[in-house]
Amino acid sequence: MPRHMIPLEQRRCASQRGSAVAEFVMVSALLIAVFLGVLQLTFALHVRNTLMDAAAAGARYGTLADRGPDDGVRRTQELIRGALNGSFASNVQARSISLGGTPGVRITVRTGVPVFGLIPFVGEFVVHGESVRYG
């Protein structure tokens, strides 16, 4: 039967044969990329929040009556090593500060932003934790 006599519906179906597989692959690749991006962002935020909490806890520890800023650094490093990879705890610094006229401690943590897993890779997170000394 000549092509012009084949019903239009059948000609359309024949010309689109196999396109469902190609569409599935393209959409699947896009969804996987979006999923991995969201997963990576979530992990980076988890690392940043963990570092902020460790810095704040280290600063509070460093302002106790029988402690100093160096004790706060050690405590911050312990907390980071316990929750994350130890390489995140390599650049922790402390300094004595004055907050509203009250002596205190500021703990600063600098580390790379994790891109794949727990390996600091690109960019830099800089987080601070501060506390005042009571008593």
Round the average pLDDT of the chain to a whole number and report it: 87
Put the strands of the sheet holding 92-99 in their side by side order.
92-99, 102-114, 120-132
Phi, psi of 116, rounded to the nearest 5 degrees: -125, 105
- pLDDT value, residue 119: 64
In this prediction, residue 116 carries a pLDDT of 73
What is the radius of gyration, based on Cα positions, of the chain? 28
Which has more pLDDT, 3 or 93?
93
Alpha-carbon span 80 to 61, nearest angstrom:
14
Question: Do the Cβ atoms of 130 and 104 come closer than 8 Å?
Answer: yes
| Whole-number Å distance between alpha carbons of 3 and 14 | 12
